[in-house]
Amino acid sequence: MALYAQTSGPLATNSGSFVPIPGLSIPLPIGVDTLAMVVLNVPNPYATGNDFPGGTFGIAVNGQVSSVQATFTYNEQNPQSTGRVPTTLVVGVPLANNPQTVTGVWFGVRGSTVHLDTPATLSSTI
C-alpha cells in the first residue's frame, strides 16, 4: 500500500519550533509487527535571514515529532544569495493497533524564514 500527499503553492515559515507543513499529512492504517517507511521529500527549499539561515524538517506521528530530523544551514552568516538545498528525510514508523496520522513538520533555524516554492511530498510504503 502506498500513501502520498503533495504541497501546492508557495509556502514559508519563520516559526522557531516545529509546525505542520500545509498539505503534508497522511493516515497510516492499523497494523501489527509492520513498519511503514515514511519519506519527506523537499526538493528545492531555501532560507532567508542574517544569522546562518537554515531550516529543519521532521516527521510527526500523531503530533509527536520523531527524533530523526533533517537540517540545512548556509555557510555564511548573511548569504548574498540563497541557494537551493534539497532535503529528504526517511523514517520508519511502527504501525499500531489504532490508525495514526503522519505529518511533515518544519521550522526556521536561528530566526530564519524557510521557503518552499516548488511541490514537496510526504509518502509512505507499507
**pLDDT per position as a tens digit, 50-72:** 999 999 999 999 999 999 999 99
Neighbour count for residue 63 (Cβ, 10 Å): 10
- Whether the Cβ atoms of residue 3 and residue 24 lie closer than 8 Å to each other: no
Q: What is the pTM of this model?
A: 0.95
Q: Which of 120, 123, 124, 122 lies closest to 8 in space, CA to CA? A: 120
**pLDDT per position as a tens digit, 91-109:** 999 999 999 999 999 999 9
Confidence of residue 1 (pLDDT cuts 50, 70, 90): low
The pLDDT, as a whole number, for residue 112 is 96
User: Would you say how long the chain is, in residues?
Assistant: 126
CA 66 – CA 37 distance, rounded (Å): 13
Domains annotated on the chain, with CATH: 2-125 (2.60.120.760)
| Interval 1-12 mean pLDDT | 90
**pLDDT per position as a tens digit, 22-53:** 999 999 999 988 999 999 999 999 999 999 99
The pLDDT, as a whole number, for residue 9 is 84
Asked if the model's pLDDT at residue 2 lies above 80, the reply is no
Q: Which of 69, 13, 90 lies closest to 46 in space, CA to CA? A: 13
Query: Helix, strand, or coil here: 58?
Result: strand
CA 99 – CA 18 distance, rounded (Å): 22
CA 102 – CA 86 distance, rounded (Å): 21
100 DSSP assignment: E
The pLDDT, as a whole number, for residue 82 is 83
